[in-house]
Structure 1
Amino acid sequence: MDHNTTTTSYTPGRPRKRRPKPRPSGPVLLAPAGGHLEIIPLGGMGEIGKNMFAFRFQDEILVIDGGLAFPDEHMLGVDLLIPRIDYLIQNADKIKGWVLTHGHEDHIGALPYLFSQLPKVPVYGARLTLGLVKGKLEEFGFKVGDFNFREVSPDDRIQIGRYFTVDLFRMTHSIPDNSGMVIHTPVGKVVHTGDFKLDPTPVDGKPSHLAKLAQAGAEGVLLLIADSTNAERPGFTPSEAEVAKGLDAIIGKAKGRVFVTTFASHIHRIQSVIKAAEHYGRKVAVEGRSMVKFARIALDLGYLSVRDRLYSLEELDSLDDSQILVITTGSQGQPEAVLSRLASGTHQKMAIKPGDTVILSSSPIPGNEEAVNTVINRLYALGAQVFFPPTYRVHASGHGSQEELKIILNLVQPKFFLPWHGEVRQQTNFKWLAEAMGQPPEKILIAENGDVVKLTPDTFEISGKVPSGALYVDGLGVGDITDEILADRNHMAAEGVVVITALVNHREPHVEVVSKGFVKAGERLLGEVRKIAFDAIYQGVREKKPLEVIRDDIYYPAKKFLRKATGRDPVIIPMVIES
């Protein structure tokens, strides 16, 4: 039984037991005169990803999460996006603690980049969450023992400095050990839902602990910060148990090999697939770096159970096709992931063949639709039978839909409301949903990353701005790529590049013109560009112009000529060298 829930029994003919009045669940802290709480989203506002908050009261800061986001198709060469933390670096001495809600990449993925810039304060997280963080740090070459990790359960209380007491409460999501929190501050209670859906039948048998939400609501909540991801979606989000039934049915009917792809961190989903495979006598292999890593950590920590063991692809070679199931990476159509390589016939160990069943147990992240569709079409062309959402019930979101959001609003009944974890459209739809409730919040703000949200018992407003946005991770470089560099990359990708190399001397200048990604330039076109360069050099030498002036005399006429001759505007790089 949930130890946070007060229950009553009823027998006909006997009076009901009265529910005891809720007792305050946190310390009573009085704000000094003029004291106010500052809530600063450094990521996660107006976007899906980079989730990170700084809570500041006077000279103390509590940090929540530190996630990454993935680049869109216009961010050529960029691997990841992480939050800018100029504000935290400038106030590093004020940071008293860090609390992690759960182990998804959009909440912990940036930590290896952020930890190295900030003091090693206590970092609180549940067992699986910290296990995943430690695995990431080890990949980056950090010594885990150098950090101050403190394991907590999803229902523990944490004291951060003098001003913050955090009561965690479990919320169902698409990963175990996911928590929301009631943050007790000198100005009042702040409820932060974390990511959530209200799954009545979670596959691990651990439903959301809503008693703390209800108790906080009964005592009075000053501010609610809540997940807006599915604020446009009516009804309830389907239970993970329904997805498990759908997967079981497809795997049970499959005659040949079965391949399943999903997010590597979706431990509940992977467990459902393994359970179905074992039920129908299939051996399970996992393939793909992140899938193997997550499965190993989940197995080691007891969050994933396998009746037999997990196999390698080589060990499956001797088995009949009806005995094989492979869980792979590639749910988002990533070119180098296992499923994409299987679909394109470039995987070194295995190939898709007629009679195979492939299940895509995830929905495309916005921006990945085309890549996923390409993979699906290639799988069909190879003769596979492909199952994907929404055509088949093989996936359910980990975020609550409108009816679940209404339940949270009714339980918490906040004075103020801050929609979070969504693009502006989702935040705004959540705002409208809250305004239509019977007891709407007094004030709702749609904030942006970097906004300083000032909170007192009577005030809820945006009072300032701190530096915010994203740092681009490109290979080993962090922050080396700027928006200007991305603009150059997109320009070159769209229009191509023309390189003009000019060797300047007084006797016989030399010019070479090379084009890449431009129109199929004939000798006449390149010859005209060479002539422009020669004319500029001869005139420059005659008039004793500096090399930079000669370079400009080549650049502008060549740019004008190519635009007129082709209608294109390539990047032109003139290099003028004196010999």
Structure 2
Amino acid sequence: MDKHLEVIPLGGMGEIGKNMFAYRYGDEIMIVDGGLAFPDSHMLGIDLLIPRIDYLQQNAGLIKGWVLTHGHEDHIGALPYILPRLPKVPIHAAKLTLGLLREKLSEFGIRENDVDLREVDTDARIRIGRHFTVDFFRMTHSIPDNMGYVLHTPVGRIVHTGDFKLDQHPTDGKPSHLAKIAQAGAEGVLMLISDSTNAERPGTTMSEADIAANIEKIIEGAKGRVFVTTFASHTHRLQNVVHVAEKLGRRVVMEGRSMVKYAQVALNLGYLEMKDGLVSTDEMGDLQDSQVLFLCTGSQGQPMSVLSRLAFGNHAKIALHRGDTVILSSSPIPGNEEAVNTVINRLYEIGVEVYYPPTYKVHASGHGSQEELKMVLNLANPKFFLPWHGEPRHQINHARLAQGMPKPPKRTLIAKNGDVVRLTADDFRVTGTVPSGAVYVDGLGVGDISDDIIQDRLAMSQDGVLIMTAVLHPTPHVELVSRGFVKANRDLEGNIRKVALEAVEAGLREKKRLEDVRDDMYGAVRRFVRKVTGRNPVLIPVLVE
């Protein structure tokens, strides 16, 4: 048998989000993660993006097991959509990751006995199939129970860092277990897969302890109510804010479904400590403004989030006023900047005190900067290097960082989603591709939206839609319905009807097929509308006999 391993990224390459890997050796496949991504601004109406899994469905019988590195949405968020489409195999993950996954699966009506969930310690060693041995190691991140792993295969060792930063003062007191990376490096690492998110940033990433101290100073000086928003899954940040609030005599109130859900799971599993437990707005009682702190959703400017509703005065139970303090303890995901800025400006208009990064140091990334990336490269000392978890600029800058090391990797590849990376003891190259890309989730529909439909939505959003209905009998006439095209304009509508009717009558005289008559009407109206308005609305021609 040709002794080679195939490493197939199905998501997470050239992007931040949608993380998913497949490893194949012979007749066995092991999968890592299954995350989602959020849509770009042009993907109108789309809720989520999940990885295409055509390759896994075509080779479903070869899948032997699954490994989850941690509980963030970009690593487990797609699983409720993916798992029902693949065979039931063991899914190995740490305690908090499984807790968050169970919560997600229950929301989708997926029962516990429909899946095979197996809890592992963050330093466990497991075997998947005949060819894969996974040796986990803890890495600090913005959520507990975050893991990387050393994958032992017949062709050699692979080190995958998972998401990480090397926080010297982690919130839970559990630092990265770098000894396992160093041990693997001493024994020989064939390939390193490492987090590229902050490959452009020099130095090291700020510690959570520093952010907690900065937030404490702000809250200590606040006279009225304090509202803090961050990612609901940022368990370490939530814990630090809770500790600060309790220290300063403020009762913590949680607002927002995802915030309460994540916090409840973390509380139940012992990853979040609160003296008084979860409190809702209805349970606040007669607390004074200086005695309360709200943890709420809305860090990305989502229209229906708690912070957005507060900013625009649409919250049913709470209204912001002068003297309140709002802390946005997160950075906008690319594409969300405009929404976040709109919320910030609205908060200023209300007259509240607003703190947000980078103007104020109230957020630190959960990903390592250049010095941390170099430390991992030094410890692993890989023969081959595969930068991962980043846009192309992050991957390429990570590759350059690696080539600048005293002992650079022999070869570095910038892979794309769907690339089949062939790995042997002496060979590291892309030998083919598998289907990849994004499946759109829109409401309850999964995969029923194509790029053509996205383009139609975009066109309608720019120039509107014009529906032309030509009634052929007894006397031909044309009716128009438009949305988002122009405000009521009888002259323009009359001229469009005239152009459409002339095309229909000409086609009927020439006894053309109805399909051709419809196309003639479409073409004539499109040319006329473009000429007189300079616009290209979506045209929908309809013939009624």
TM-score by structure 1 length?
A: 0.93
What secondary structure sits across from 2:103 in the alignment? helix
Q: Please tell me the residue identity of whatever aligns with 1:190.
A: I
Q: Please tell me the residue identity of whatever aligns with 1:499.
A: I
Looking at structure 1, the residues matched to 134 and 283 of structure 2 have their Cα atoms a distance apart, in angstroms, of 48
**What is the CA distance between 1:534 and its match in structure 2?**
2.0
Kindly indicate whether residue 514 of structure 2 is the aligned counterpart of residue 514 of structure 1: no
8 A contact 2:32–2:69 mirrored in 1: yes
- Aligned match of 2:404: 436
- Aligned match of 1:61: 29
**What is the CA distance between 1:510 and its match in structure 2?**
2.9
One of 80, 87, 91 as aligned partner of 2:59: 91
- Aligned match of 2:531: 564
What secondary structure sits across from 2:80 in the alignment? helix
**What is the CA distance between 1:495 and its match in structure 2?**
1.4
- Aligned match of 2:207: 239
**What is the CA distance between 1:542 and its match in structure 2?**
3.0
**What is the CA distance between 1:521 and its match in structure 2?**
5.0
8 A contact 2:10–2:21 mirrored in 1: yes
- Aligned match of 1:129: 97
- Aligned match of 1:27: none
**What is the CA distance between 1:317 and its match in structure 2?**
4.8
- Aligned match of 2:509: 542
What secondary structure sits across from 1:248 in the alignment? helix
- Aligned match of 2:260: 292
**What is the CA distance between 1:319 and its match in structure 2?**
1.2
Looking at structure 1, the residues matched to 283 and 222 of structure 2 have their Cα atoms a distance apart, in angstroms, of 21
Q: Please tell me the residue identity of whatever aligns with 2:359.
A: T
Q: Please tell me the residue identity of whatever aligns with 2:62.
A: K
- Aligned match of 1:318: 286
Looking at structure 2, the residues matched to 571 and 399 of structure 1 have their Cα atoms a distance apart, in angstroms, of 44
**What is the CA distance between 1:443 and its match in structure 2?**
0.2
The CA RMSD measured in Å over matched residues stands at 0.9
**What is the CA distance between 1:549 and its match in structure 2?**
1.7
Kindly indicate whether residue 495 of structure 2 is the aligned counterpart of residue 533 of structure 1: no
Kindly indicate whether residue 225 of structure 2 is the aligned counterpart of residue 265 of structure 1: no
Looking at structure 2, the residues matched to 434 and 531 of structure 1 have their Cα atoms a distance apart, in angstroms, of 67
Looking at structure 2, the residues matched to 562 and 264 of structure 1 have their Cα atoms a distance apart, in angstroms, of 48
- Aligned match of 2:123: 155
Where do 1:322-361 residues align within 5 Å? 322-361=290-329
- Aligned match of 2:82: 114
8 A contact 2:466–2:481 mirrored in 1: yes
What secondary structure sits across from 1:480 in the alignment? coil
Percent identity of paired positions between Structure 1 and Structure 2: 67
8 A contact 1:71–1:80 mirrored in 2: yes
Kindly indicate whether residue 351 of structure 2 is the aligned counterpart of residue 367 of structure 1: no
Q: Deviations over 1:371-422 (max 9, x none)?
A: 1010001111111100111111111000000000000000000000000000
What secondary structure sits across from 2:238 in the alignment? helix
Looking at structure 1, the residues matched to 110 and 78 of structure 2 have their Cα atoms a distance apart, in angstroms, of 14
Looking at structure 1, the residues matched to 279 and 25 of structure 2 have their Cα atoms a distance apart, in angstroms, of 52
What secondary structure sits across from 2:135 in the alignment? strand
Looking at structure 1, the residues matched to 230 and 508 of structure 2 have their Cα atoms a distance apart, in angstroms, of 65
Kindly indicate whether residue 203 of structure 2 is the aligned counterpart of residue 203 of structure 1: no
Q: Deviations over 1:300-348 (max 9, x none)?
A: 0000000122211122252110011110000000001110000000010
Runs of 4+ in 1 over 6 A off after TM superposition: none
Looking at structure 2, the residues matched to 34 and 572 of structure 1 have their Cα atoms a distance apart, in angstroms, of 56
Q: Deviations over 1:51-99 (max 9, x none)?
A: 0000000000010000000001000010000000000000000000000
8 A contact 1:123–1:149 mirrored in 2: yes
TM-score by structure 2 length?
A: 0.99
- Aligned match of 1:409: 377
8 A contact 2:503–2:524 mirrored in 1: no
8 A contact 2:418–2:434 mirrored in 1: yes
Kindly indicate whether residue 111 of structure 2 is the aligned counterpart of residue 143 of structure 1: yes
Looking at structure 2, the residues matched to 122 and 203 of structure 1 have their Cα atoms a distance apart, in angstroms, of 31
**What is the CA distance between 1:145 and its match in structure 2?**
2.5
One of 360, 368, 376 as aligned partner of 1:392: 360
Q: Please tell me the residue identity of whatever aligns with 2:231.
A: F
Q: How many residues align?
A: 545
8 A contact 1:428–1:446 mirrored in 2: yes
Kindly indicate whether residue 543 of structure 2 is the aligned counterpart of residue 576 of structure 1: yes
- Aligned match of 1:3: none
